[in-house]
Structure 1
Amino acid sequence: MIGRKLFSLVQADGAVALYTEEVDTGPPAADEVVVRIGAAPVNPSDLLLLLATADPATARSTGTADRPAMQATIPAHQRATVAPRVGIPMPVGNEGAGTVIAAGADAAHLLGKTVACLGRGMFAQYIRVPAAACHVLPDGVSAAQGAASLINPLTALMMVEVMGAEGHGALVHTAAASSLGQMLNRICVEDGVPLVNIVRRQDQADLLRNQGARHVCITSEADFPARLLEALDETGATIAFDAIGGGPLIGQLLDGMETVAIRRLPHYSRYGSMTRKTVYIYGLLDSRPIQYHRGFDFSWNVAGWLLTPYFEALSKQRLAELWHRISAQLTTTFATRFADTLSLDEMLAPVAVERYAQKATGRKFLIAPHA
């Protein structure tokens, strides 16, 4: 099946080019399907690949009226990080949903079904993927409703699973008013998991509290350190998932966790507490270096965290259990609200790039490849 697909190409001159090309999916193998993509969300991970750290304010049109394209400039200090990509067209989009229009012999049961799927290059009209990467959406759920039913829901659920597997009883989440953060908050409210939400503004705190959040700390408020300590003391949280990635917040979290742990020591220890404290970084909203003043002990860990290794380690049974929960609550707990829907052509307009590249609450966009 021939259709348009969006590509991101880092050029030797320090620009990233975004454009579409006609691509033939080819026929599906026995265990594959071809999906007509109805909708695909723009996730932060997609933006990182799409823009290659380029400044959206430098976006400029380079195509024609019937075949739009654009370029943006990558800051000089960021070019080394994307140097391995120079000259290699990269298909964009990690998840989407649509209708199965062709299927191999072993996947014939999916023909005609509306499915959510994972794969590379979902910002496309058609895509060929393994049948195992597809999950049938419930009757009555549209492609638009199911487009974001995998990455954020699985990420939020795996955060709670990792918390339990590593022996923690509560968790902290930063940038908590994001689509993922709201989802995690709803899960924790439903499951009775203590959660400390970290946000920047009062309106974000109000948004979460209206969804049942008990502990919300606002970093821009003067009493943030005290509020954070109070929340950590009440919940006993010793693991955090951080979407910020830079600045002083990680150090503040570890400091607060250690302060609470020391309060509970039966006697003084010059090495501090032995309570294991972990901050997993899964985002990069702040590109500054991590800043901290060592007010904490030696029992701590800061590490990167990705969904993929945890997802790939899931048994078929556990994945089926998680998908059963997600599909049953797609329009409630795992619902995603979008600011706007864009066509592939509209995605390549400089004014649109500045909109969907914003790292702001309520600014998540949906792509409709056939619009």
Structure 2
Amino acid sequence: MSRAVRFHEYGDASVLRIENIDVPAPAADEVQIAVKAIGLNRAETMFRSGRYLQEAVFPSQLGYEAAGLVKTLGANVQGFAPGDAVSVIPTLDMARWPTYGEIINIPAKYVVRHPAKLTFEQAAASWMQYVTAWGALVAQAQLRGGDFVIVSAASSSVGIAAIQIARSVGATVIATTRTRAKAQPLLDAGAHHVIATSEEDLAARVREITQGKGARVVFDPIGGPAIAQLAACMAFGGILLEYGALSTEEGTFPQFALLGQCLTFKGYLYIEVTSNDALLERAKAFINAGLESGALTPLISHTFRFDAIQDATRFLESNEQVGKIVVTLD
């Protein structure tokens, strides 16, 4: 028997229960892991509340990220051994391969030996954010030195990861946040400039920072009216990658900016990387190298004990954090 988080109906954090379950032996291509830390993601709160791309079958488990020690291996798995310290790249199905539990089974292709310098908490806080940001900025936008990139809602874990990845390739980062309250933490995290969108004219500040050129790359999880606002900030031939829909409002489509500036707007999901073996290997190599060198350093906002999973989830949904929320297990 192993403790795991399950929910039996959609709802707020109060529907999450810690229950004892039987964990099967790993399948032929799976690694069984004794979990030491779990990274929380907004996708999991959306899944729990019925607002995600995937529907739950009750009772359902959940979770995309974790780190721990290899417990045992499936029959066909090579390259790992019991006792190895590993972390989990988000799979394609959190209900089938959940991470909110003491013992989990994960397909070997989504298990990584992370740099030994990382704590389990840091390792559990790495892969969703860095894979998401790498896939958009490096693989798709081909961000490079000399580029200006706007990272909106930048205090999220993915936003912090995007700041670090952009800096690692030599780009100039313009981070946005709603108020000045998070400006200094974002500067401390590596942003070159921070714009408080409720207090400043976004387009005017971007023109000032870029000396009228605009930003070639925009990385946005908000959508809605923000798309038109960001389009007004972009350089000729720029690309906007939309990886979320935090806004519940419909926005005006900026057709004149799109045409006049020859812009590209693209919806983007991390599964574009994790479902492509070649891209996933490139992402692993880039991210592990950055974690080893220190160019990529997971920023942990707060840690909670496993028994406080409801409180940890509520804190995630409060939007008070700058960086990642992690849950730890003995």
Q: Matched residues in 1 for 2:170 and 2:57: separation?
A: 49
Counterparts of 1:212 and 1:317 in 2: how far apart (Å)? 26
Deviation of 1:235 (Å) = 5.8
Aligned residue pairs: how many? 318
Q: How far apart are residue 87 of structure 1 and its match?
A: 5.4
2-structure distance, mates of 1:355, 1:157? 26
Is 179-188 or 113-122 further displaced after alignment? 179-188
Report the RMSD for the aligned CA atoms in angstroms. 3.1
Structure 1 unmatched runs, 5+: 54-80, 262-274
2:26 matched residue in structure 1: 28
Distance 2:130 2:12 in 1: 35
Once the two structures are superposed, residues 252-311 of structure 1 have per-residue CA deviations (whole angstroms, 9 ceiling, x without a partner) of 111232xx54xxxxxxxxxxxxx3x43222123322222456552424444421011123
Q: Distance in 1 between matches of 2:284 and 2:290?
A: 10
CA distance in 1, matches of 2:312, 2:118: 28
What is the TM-score of this pair, normalised by structure 2?
Answer: 0.83
Residue in 2 that maps onto 1:285: 246
Distance in 2 between residues matched to 1:32 and 1:312, nearest whole Å: 16
Task: State which of 95, 116, 134 in structure 1 corresponds to 2:65.
Answer: 95
Report runs of 4+ in structure 1 exceeding 6 Å deviation.
13-16
Aligned partner (choices 91, 116, 137) of residue 160 of structure 1: 137
Is the contact made by 1:175 and 1:244 (CA closer than 8 Å) also made in structure 2? yes
Return the TM-score normalized by structure 1: 0.74
Aligned 8 A contact 1:342 1:365 in 2: no
Q: Counterpart in 2 of 1:307? A: 270
Measured against aligned partners, the alpha-carbon deviations of 1:198-256 in whole angstroms (never above 9, x if no partner) come to 2222232222223443232221224333102323555642331111122x221011123
Name the aligned partner's letter for residue 134 of structure 2: L
> How many angstroms apart in 2 are the aligned matches of 1:208 and 1:324?
23
Deviations 1:87-114 (A, max 9, x none): 5333211010011111134436321101
Query: Any conservation in 1 of the 2:12–2:49 contact (CA below 8 Å)?
Result: no
Deviations 1:121-175 (A, max 9, x none): 1001111122222111233533222111211112222222111189x94432101
Q: Which residue of 1 aligns with 2:221?
A: 243
Q: Based on CA coordinates, which of the two structures has the bigger radius of gyration?
A: 1
Correspondences of 1:47-196 after superposition (within 5 Å): 47-53=45-51, 85=55, 88-107=58-77, 109-118=80-89, 119=91, 120=94, 121-161=98-138, 162-164=140-142, 169-196=147-174
* Counterpart AA for 2:245: L
Paired residues of 2:312 and 2:325 also in contact (CA < 8 A): no
Aligned-residue sequence identity (percent) comes to: 24
